[in-house]
Amino acid sequence: MSEMPYRITKRQFIKRCTAISAGMVCFRLPDMSEGLIPDEEQVFRKEAMFQEETARGIMCRICPNECVLKEGELSKCNNRKVIKSKLYTLAYGNPCSVNVDPIEKKPLYHFLPRSRAFSIATAGCNLVCLNCQNWTISQTSPDKTRNYTLPPQKVVSECISKDCRSIAYTYSEPVTFYEYAYDTASIARKEGIKNVFKSNGYIYPEPLEKLCSVIDAANIDLKAFSNTTYLKLSGGKLQPVLDSLKIYRDKGVWLEITNLIVPGWTDNMDEIRKMCRWLCDNGFKNVPVHFSRFHPTYKLEQLPPTPVEVLNNAVKIASEEGLKYIYTGNVPGHEMSDTRCPVCKTVLIVRQGYRIASNNMPGGKCAKCGTSIDGIWS
């Protein structure tokens, strides 16, 4: 966030102007030479976790970008800044997006079906995906978005008042508002509220392991299975995301994976097969995988939507490689949005968009053959 002029509220302005006109009092502007920062930035900042002082500046140790910042410089994710030789997050208690969503929208298909998630996001992201559907908030900073005042305790209170069973940290990239998410999730957990992350998984092991102590479920975008494609499409690297998947799994966080199939970018069936094989070989056979349809947006508006046949081919490959729960996304009415028993193939949950039309899975088991279906169902 860039420095802004000193500001006062409309009420303060009127009150002080009235006082001045009456010859009663004048007010003093703060001495900016003393290093004071604007009111809004001061309210919505907090000293960042996982920072390291180096000879070149302050290094952020949250994600593999490893931003090294000097005084006043802003991180690549647009919401971390060095102020008086300390790294601060400028995304704390000031979400730009607040909504109540069905949990299926994340998408999380095997986690508290039919429940609602109180969803929040601040501006900023540590990747620069060419196909980002939320680029208006992910590719900017908190000072350039219209924000709510919603500190952690207030998020939890609103979640309870809206009868939501979980809080979702989503839309932009919650790794970049790590402190806000962590503090909120810690309070929520004490109140019996679940916490879910919708994330790119681009985070270092140490902060992720700490985060997993308060997170119950996550949907991670596995954007490609080629390091070259990852770099060109999103500005990131593949291996840190694979490492994150293993940590989520090992820490007992319920995990689902989304792979957006972008025509000409991530629709290579050999790469999709390699991805599915890696997932099966590394203990993710029981993790739901969502092959999602791309729609033209942001810097890839010239591309066509993903052909449904391409999605069908991906589903076929995933099944051949041994994945148990395979879904398609962004294709309303597609049969692969339903949950099936991996043994007898009986349809157990029928979905219409984000709405569950029927659920024939008492106690998390197939009603026909009794097979336990992986997930958190209650």
145 and 260 co-located in one domain? yes
Cα of first residue to Cα of last residue in the chain, in angstroms, is 41
Instruction: Evaluate whether residue 208 is within a structural domain.
Output: yes
Q: Is the pLDDT of residue 36 over 70?
A: no
Structural domain count of the chain: 2
218 and 349 co-located in one domain? no
Instruction: Evaluate whether residue 55 is within a structural domain.
Output: no
Side chain identity at 207, as an amino acid letter? P
Closest CA to 193 of 201, 203, 184: 184
Structural contact between residues 19 and 25, judged by C-beta atoms closer than 8 angstroms:
yes
pLDDT in tens, 277-327: 999 999 999 999 999 999 999 999 999 999 999 999 999 999 999 999 999
| pLDDT computed for residue 40 by the predictor | 54
231 and 350 co-located in one domain? no
Rama region for 235: left / alpha / beta (φ>0; ψ in -120 to 50; rest): left
125 and 221 co-located in one domain? yes
| pLDDT computed for residue 26 by the predictor | 31
pLDDT in tens, 127-153: 999 999 999 999 999 999 999 999 999
Strand, helix or coil for residue 258: strand
Structural contact between residues 44 and 90, judged by C-beta atoms closer than 8 angstroms:
yes
138 and 240 co-located in one domain? yes
| Encoded tokens for 143 | 């000072």
150 and 261 co-located in one domain? yes
308 and 375 co-located in one domain? no
Instruction: Evaluate whether residue 281 is within a structural domain.
Output: yes
| pLDDT computed for residue 22 by the predictor | 34
Structural contact between residues 294 and 263, judged by C-beta atoms closer than 8 angstroms:
yes
Number of DSSP helices (H) and strands (E) in the chain, helices first: 10, 17
Q: Is the peptide bond before 107 cis (omega within 30 degrees of 0)?
A: yes
Give the chain's largest Cα–Cα span: 85
Determine the Cα angle at 335 with ends 333 and 338, to 5°: 100
201 and 290 co-located in one domain? yes
| Encoded tokens for 157 | 């209170």
Q: Count other Cβ atoms within 10 Å, centred on residue 250.
A: 11
Instruction: Evaluate whether residue 16 is within a structural domain.
Output: no
Domain assignment of residue 355, given as a range: 338-378
Q: pLDDT band for 35, please (50, 70, 90 cuts).
A: very low
304 and 351 co-located in one domain? no
Q: Model's pTM, two decimal places? A: 0.88
